[in-house]
Structure 1
Amino acid sequence: MSQEKGTLNTAHFQSHLKHANLVFTAATERKTTPDAKKACFVLLDHFSMSAFSIALDTLVTLNLVHNQSIYDCKTYSLNDNKTLSDISITLTTDGNIQDISLRKDDLLVVCGGFRTVLKSEPQLNKIIRKAVQSSATVMGIWNGGFYIADSKIKDNHTVAIHQDNKAIMAERFPGLHVATSSYSEEGQILTCSGPNSTLDMMLHFIKLAWGAENAQAVAKVIGADRVSETDNDISNRFLRADSRIPDCIKESIILMESNIEDPLTIDELANLVGISRRKLERLFKSHIGVAPARYYMEYRLTRARQLIQQSNLSIFDVSIACGFVSSAHFSRTYHRYFAQSPIDTRRTTQSS
């Protein structure tokens, strides 16, 4: 396998962990391709800088964890190529909304904020209607849902909006349903009520549009600080949310993630979750896409890559921490999966 010297290659990975590792490979140097989809952010005056940053960050991270750049992200204002954020920082945008043209599967994201004045914007309404007609996805952040409702693209639909704006929504759009949850999804229309729900909405969208593996990989990068005390890894939250995955598989993965330095055997895993080894292997292949032993190895190597890049542990200590019987065995296995030795990974990290 030929590759540029000093870059990782995750082609040997077979599970969703390939995406989680891609963000640390040469993919981070990837440039936007001509066929990338557009992500057009309309920044209203006093838009929420934090909510906008989260939405933008998820798409930029998706580009990094995917094997090609998916979205070309641009910002737009209502006029004058500039807009004022909620923290009094003026941003120069890439254009005005009249510059927006959308195709199927592009994104139009309307970003509002606590002090955004809610009033009809005929030009924005026109852009939103055109986006829907073009089969683009339309999102409203904070009170961006007001403009989606005002564009009258759909009767009796559901919109999630900030608590302070629910009164005006009820008064202005009596036939509208205001979501009780923090974000709402109805086909190609997604809305959320503030910064905290923006990440949930964006991950939900990525899961729908690009699959759970990509959503999980993005969450590993920008949502890891939201892991609860009962979660060993951000993937656990995704696994628990997927009703199609049997509990025994979820429990097996949690056990793997809790036993890195002294790995369990597949027989031990099967006994601990109360099924036969043969059934465990069959269910893993069916729901995770790889055998349990393969997933376990890929998870341990992912942990090893993290320790090599982010700690001062010796390669020998990393091999022990990740359950390898010798540093020689670890180095051979690491090279097979990443097409690079552990030493080269550390040198590349330190020189970047």
Structure 2
Amino acid sequence: MVAFFSAIEPLRIANRIDGRPLFEWDLISRDGEPVIASNGMTLAVNSSLHAAPKVPSLAVCASFDPESCIDDELIDWLRACHLEGCVLGGMDTGCYALAAAGLLNDKTVTLHWECLSDFHAHFPRVDVVESIYEVTEEGFSCAGGSAAIDMSLDLIRRRHGDVLAKQVRDQLIHEHGRRPASRQRDPAIPQEPMIQRAITLMDTNLETPLSIRALANELGISWRRLDRLFSRHLAMSPQQTYLARRLDNAYRLLSETPHSIMDISLATGFASASSFSRAFRHYYGSTPSQLRQQAVSNHA
């Protein structure tokens, strides 16, 4: 329900501010009956799958256990929408249905971070990333929750300009519209002294990263124990955490400084701009040059 209303409310507010119906929407359920959301609230809809009007775009919104709702009827209907030229997208776990229909192969999408590993295992041909939202001419997706606000604000900005998007954002008391490549989560450093010491060492050795064995030696413990500590407290390996902190620093440098991409890649421990670009895109969903272009246009 959070993702659903977060997507709709910015559009409703845009209509109210502009005084015209800039956006319209229809709510569709499988059988046309009301849908009970995961919070127990009942949501009325406009039509069933087979009575649904033809629309230029369709957002599939799903929550927990999305695969339990996927069957041949839904897959056939989604494929028919695609063949009719409808632009398809997923919110929260909605991409499961689109992927099951074979409509996301070789495309980049995002969905809620809890499902990323499972989704990748089930649909290896889909490039899934942990970003806030993804928008292309072929489709769109967002991570659910409040990320749908950012995706709708982006839609308003692209169709009707920055001024209206800012007015809607102000009405929502949504201080900053997040970029598509923004991370979904920023795990807090746990109150575990050895983890804190390890992360401090990582942060002071970004330009010339330490090996995990060298890091463990500095801490006076075995690398196996270090790996177990990170797995228990962060659900990530030391290698994954180290890479994440290097790339987070790179994101800040790209957004806030005029340093060249090559200089930033070296400052964050990458031997070449190409290896930096690959790691950055896999982590954020966009390349360093794309992020730099966004930062320049936003400050123009």
Whichever residue aligns with residue 87 of structure 1, its letter is N
**Mapped partners of 1:246, 1:205: distance in 2:** 19
- What is the match of residue 177 of structure 1? 127
- What is the match of residue 297 of structure 2? 244
Q: Report the count of equivalent residues.
A: 185
Asked whether the equivalents of residues 2 and 144 of structure 2 are also in contact (C-alpha less than 8 Å), the reply is no
* TM-score, normalisation: structure 2: 0.55
Whichever residue aligns with residue 296 of structure 2, its letter is S
* Identity between Structure 1 and Structure 2 (%): 19
SS in 2 for 1:148: helix
Question: Compared with structure 1, are the counterparts of its residues 188 and 209 closer, same or farther at alpha carbon in structure 2 (3 Å cutoff)?
Answer: farther
Counting only pairs closer than 5 Å after superposition, residues 98-137 of structure 1 correspond to structure 2 as 98-103=50-55, 106-137=56-87
Match of 1:77 among 29, 32, 38: 29
Whichever residue aligns with residue 201 of structure 1, its letter is M
Residue 181 of structure 1: how far off its partner (Å): 1.0
1:138 correspondence with 2:88: yes
Match of 1:216 among 156, 166, 178: 166
Asked whether the equivalents of residues 30 and 48 of structure 2 are also in contact (C-alpha less than 8 Å), the reply is yes
SS in 2 for 1:79: coil
1:61 correspondence with 2:17: no
**Mapped partners of 1:171, 1:108: distance in 2:** 25
Question: Compared with structure 1, are the counterparts of its residues 211 and 126 closer, same or farther at alpha carbon in structure 2 (3 Å cutoff)?
Answer: farther
For the aligned residues, what is the CA RMSD? 2.6
Whichever residue aligns with residue 129 of structure 2, its letter is A
SS in 1 for 2:43: strand
Question: Compared with structure 1, are the counterparts of its residues 216 and 101 closer, same or farther at alpha carbon in structure 2 (3 Å cutoff)?
Answer: same
* The 10-residue stretch of structure 1 (141-150 or 64-73) with the greater mean CA deviation from structure 2: 64-73
Asked whether the equivalents of residues 90 and 98 of structure 2 are also in contact (C-alpha less than 8 Å), the reply is yes
Residue 119 of structure 1: how far off its partner (Å): 5.0
Residue 177 of structure 1: how far off its partner (Å): 0.7
Q: Please tell me whether Structure 1 or Structure 2 has the larger radius of gyration of its CA atoms.
A: 1
Higher relative contact order (CA 8 A, sep 6+): 1
Whichever residue aligns with residue 128 of structure 1, its letter is L
- What is the match of residue 42 of structure 2? 90
Question: Compared with structure 1, are the counterparts of its residues 182 and 225 closer, same or farther at alpha carbon in structure 2 (3 Å cutoff)?
Answer: closer
Asked whether the equivalents of residues 15 and 21 of structure 2 are also in contact (C-alpha less than 8 Å), the reply is yes
* The 10-residue stretch of structure 1 (177-186 or 131-140) with the greater mean CA deviation from structure 2: 131-140
Question: Compared with structure 1, are the counterparts of its residues 193 and 95 closer, same or farther at alpha carbon in structure 2 (3 Å cutoff)?
Answer: same
Question: Compared with structure 1, are the counterparts of its residues 95 and 146 closer, same or farther at alpha carbon in structure 2 (3 Å cutoff)?
Answer: same
Residue 241 of structure 1: how far off its partner (Å): 5.8
**Mapped partners of 2:163, 2:104: distance in 1:** 31
